[in-house]
Amino acid sequence: ELREAQHLAISDPLTGLPNRRGIDSTLNREISRARRHKVPLCLSVLDLDHFKQINDSHGHVIGDMALIHVAHTLKGSLRDVDLLARFGGEEFMVIMPDTALMGAEFGVNRLLQYLLARPLIVDQLEIPLCFSAGVAQWTFDESVLQLIARTDKALYAAKAAGRSRVAVAPAGDEAVSVTQQHKG
């Protein structure tokens, strides 16, 4: 019973993915491992585009189905070492151990293409789903909160550039780079 309660405390009940509490412990552990072994670690925050329109047009039950669909679709296309979690609302987070920034950007773009090719189908209705994402590589002198803040900054740049794209957060004061928009 105790193990079950602990699992429920760190899991999102809708998607079955780790929740924010689960993310925090995993991210802290992965940063410690990256520091100890001097290996790269990347983080991505994905925000479903126009999710409010899905809820408004089709109802919250379909909105929940969309979140579950995204969770299962993305989780099935990640490497075994990567962790997908529900960050909150319609946001997801991907922790990518042993991954440098270029590889993470490629991987998240691949996830976006994968999701775009797999719309949610409910009663013969096709609901396309896509996301905007920010990607950042952890630097050896930053905290978890600083890494998340840089990743969020890149996410907002992707949304501002038109959505359905991935933006990369630089380690220094350089500008965020945004990839081309993906069409579904």
Residue 133 β-bridge partners = 46, 166
Say which residues have a Cβ less than 8 Å from residue 147's Cβ, sequence separation at least 6. Answer: 27, 31, 43, 136, 138, 139
Query: From CA 102, how far away is CA 3, in angstroms rounded?
Result: 38
Amino acid sitting at position 12: D
Say which residues have a Cβ less than 8 Å from residue 16's Cβ, sequence separation at least 6. Answer: 71
Q: How many CA atoms does the CB half-sphere of 130 hold within 13 Å?
A: 19
Catalytic annotation present for 90: yes
Instruction: Determine contact, residues 17/81, Cβ cutoff 8 Å.
Output: no
Question: Which H or E run includes 177?
Answer: strand 177-178
Active-site entry in 1, 4, 30, 90: 90
| Positions marked active-site | 90
